[in-house]
Structure formats: C-alpha cells, structure tokens
Amino acid sequence: MGQNFILPDLGEGLTEAEIVSWLVAVGDTITIDQPVVEVESAKSIVELPSPFGGVVEALNGVAGQIIHAGQVLLTVTDAAEADAARPTARTAVKPAAMAAGVPVAEVDGSASGAVLIGYGTRENTGPVRRPATARFGVRPGSAAPVVAAIVEPVSEVTPATPVTAPASPSYPAGRSPVVSPLVRRLARENGLDATLLIGSGSNALVLRRDVESAIRERAAAVESTPVVEPAALAQPAPVAEPIGTRAAPTDDIRIPITGLRRVVSERMTTSRREIPEATVWLDVDATELFAARDRLFDATGERFSVTALIARFTVAGLRRFPLLNSSVDTASQEILQRGAINLGLAAQTPRGLMVPVVHDAHSLTTRELRDAIAGIVTQATDGSFPPSRLSGGTFTLNNFGALGVDGSAAIINHPEAAILGIGRMIERPWVVDHTLAVRTVVELSLVFDHRVCDGGTAAGFLTYIARCIENPVSMLADL
C-alpha cells in the first residue's frame, strides 16, 4: 500500500512553493529523512526529506509547478510490495494532478510523518540509491549520472511530442541546474527549456544571460536561413525593406507576481502605505576612506571592502542615534527601540532583491563584520539564503552605487525605521582648503520614518557617517 508524502508547513506563514528539481526518480529506493525534492518558497530554496522509506512509486509534480501545503508530493511503497508488483517493463513517470492528502498511519514503524530531518524517525536498513545530480550539478563523490532507457507501455493515444530546444552547441546532452524561476519563465516564454542550456554560472548553473544568449542565437539562425518558395523562383527579387521600417511587436506580456517578487511587492506596498518617510542626503569626500583602507591592508595584510568599513561606521552611528534602530508597534502605538543591531544588506540576486541580515552586528569586530558581509556577497550569486538569514533585520544598508547610480530615495524595509543608501564613488572636482582638487566623492542618502524621529536625529546620524568617511580615525573615539 502506497504512502503519500505531503508538502509540510514551510513556516513563517508560507503556504506554497515551486518544485525546482527532483532528487529521486520513480523506482529509486529511499530511506527515511532522505532529501527527495528541492522546492523554492518565497524565502529560500530548501531540500525536503521524505518521512517514509521504500521505493518511489510516483512523483506528483514537475519542475516549475506550484504546490501548496497539504498536497501530495510523492508516493512511496514498501520495498517488498514493490518487488512483488513491479512489472517487467519499467514505466515512465506521468505528471499527475496535485491532490490534497494526508500521510497513511504508521503500521510497520517505517514512517515518521511530514517532519524535518532527524525528528521522530526510525532507522531504515533498506538499500539507498542516492541520485548523483543535485541543483548545482554532480554531487561530490558521485559518478556522472547514467540515463537509463525507460520503456513506456503501448497506448492507443500517441502522446504529444514535447517541445525541445533546437539543436545548437549551446545545448548539452544532459540537464543543467537552474535555480531562478525568472530564468525558467523567460526560457518557457521563448519556447526553450532552460535545463538544456549550458550554464555559465558556478557548477554550470544556468543564469539569465545564458537564456538571453540562446534566444539571440536562435533568432540569428532563423534570420540567416533563406526561405525560397517554388512560385517565386521565376520572379525578380523584391526590393529589401529598410530595417528601420519594421514594426515593433505589439503583443502584451503578462508576468505573474509570485514567490519572492510577491513578498517584496507586499512589503514595499505596506511600507509606502504605513510609513510617513522623509529623505536627507549629503555629498561626502571619500578620498581618506580609500587611503585608510590601503593603510589597513599594509598593516594587516588583509583586504577590507569599502562596504565593510561603512557598515562599521553605520553600527557605531546606530549606537550614537539608537532611535533609528527601531520599529513602530501600530497596535500599541509605541516605538520599539531595539537593543541588538541586526544589519540588513540589500542584495540583488538571480531570485530578485533580497535583504540578508548580519545578526548582532554590534558585537562583531571589524574583521568579523567584514567576513560576514563577504559571506553574504558569495551567497548572493545564487540567492541561496536560508530563511533565518532573511529575517530579524533592524536597519538596512543599501549600496546601490554598485548598480551605477549616484542616489536613490529608497523604500524602508518594513517594519524598520530607516535605510542608508550609498551611491557610486567617482572622482569629482572638490574644494579643499580653498583650492579646487580632484577627490573621490560619494552621495549618501538616509530615508527615515518621521514617526520615530525628527530631521535633527536623521541629520545627526548622516553627518556622523559622513565624518567617519571623510576622516576614519575620528571613529576611534566611539570604539
């Protein structure tokens, strides 16, 4: 009798997820708590473990499909029952409609319920066949995956031939890992399968630029292929139409707001609706900041990024102006001033805008803060942040200068009270001691909740950060 593994509660109010990839196939023997599927929620991408051990009988979903809590993910049968009922020819997996269900009651001690790894389980001594591939390619220590031929039973109705990408050097023989749902959607809208592309990311991860490159290659191939009709062989060649007169496409495109984009949309809408924000900004001479960074390297042999140093100044500034490290409790009409400084850093990732958090930044040394930020930068390349890293922020630092812009009136990350923006750092003419000089200048902007503080507090915080940037040694007095 089959046992149904349902999608468990993902926590933090999340009720749905998108299937990224299956880690097992029909016919595989799995153990209790073995990861079987990767799903992407609005928070992160996680591997879900199976609460049952046995043989996979059915996979009730395909990559890219949205599933809801309580729906059946896969069905597992006991190994002995599967051996007795196994047909002579192995049948292929048929994508099934998602149906709500509950796990079958435990009758032989082999089930643990829809729980996370290591909770309330019993050891299963059956053989394990771990899939060799994962989201980012071949698993360490695994041989290259072998694709076995699958025989489907003959049916009177011939299934529709799946649409596949055209033959091109850009398409490998196997399947490549794809993390971003936006990348998969872009590929589907243009008639491509993103998993068939050769990814340029880490471990062959398929990125947006890979899909766009494949689209351009296909368009170039179509345009370069002449089409000659028999009736036109005796006709004179028509005059070529000027390139500039070609009509632009007029079809509308609908892009669903789902997953992370929906969470970001809801949070920004709430911020604009509830927070009476105000913005102050200031141009700052950052020449000495770069000189201090170089001297720090000469003294320690370690590199410190400019963002890490400004983050250090920000933490010191929040200790000096603690009202900006607050949130408003609208139910009790109180300002909740936070004791700990959990510094969020806005990061552009393949999944969209995310704000990972460095918790207890006030207790970290400059070196520890630098390392924590470096870890965030590394994880931002694929957006694989755990849910705990994306919650609990009390103040946000946004370095939008990396996008090539000077300034921005950013939206406060609700329910925080302020966000500090850093523009690009470029050489500009600057007056120093009544003399015109070339200096490295950056624009800082602070958006703050006017319910929490007035302009005096906001201006005091911003000018303090500016003084630290213009003269980093001045911060020593606050350490």
Which residues are designated catalytic?
A: 450
The residue whose two tokens read 């609908």 is: 254
Residues in the chain: 479
CA 192 from centroid of its chain's CA atoms: 22
Nearest to 256 by CA among 186, 313, 324: 186
**Cβ atoms of residues 187 and 211 within 8 Å:** yes
- Residue reference for tokens 């102050």: 280
- Rounded (10°) angle between helices 306-320 and 366-379: 120
Rg (CA), the chain: 28
**Cα end-to-end span (Å), the chain:** 66
Task: At 424, list the tokens.
Answer: 């690009």
- How far is 384 from 46, CA to CA, in rounded Å? 9
Strands 395-398 and 343-345: parallel
65-70-76 Cα angle (round to 5): 80
Here the tokens at position 20 are: 């990224």
Please, which residues have CB within 8 angstroms of residue 81's CB and are 6 or more apart in sequence? Answer: 1
CB atoms within 10 A of CB 368: 12
Cα–Cα distance for residue pair 171/194, rounded to 1 Å: 9
DSSP state of 140: T
Q: Can you list the positions of beta strands (E) in 88-140? A: 133-134, 137-138
Instruction: List Cα–Cα distances, 306 to 1, 194, 294, 467, 469, in angstroms.
Output: 61, 36, 10, 15, 10
Report the C-alpha gap between 473 and 305 in whole angstroms: 17
What string of DSSP letters covers 380-400? Answer: TTTT---GGGGS--SEEEE-G
Whether 362 contacts 339, CB under 8 Å: no
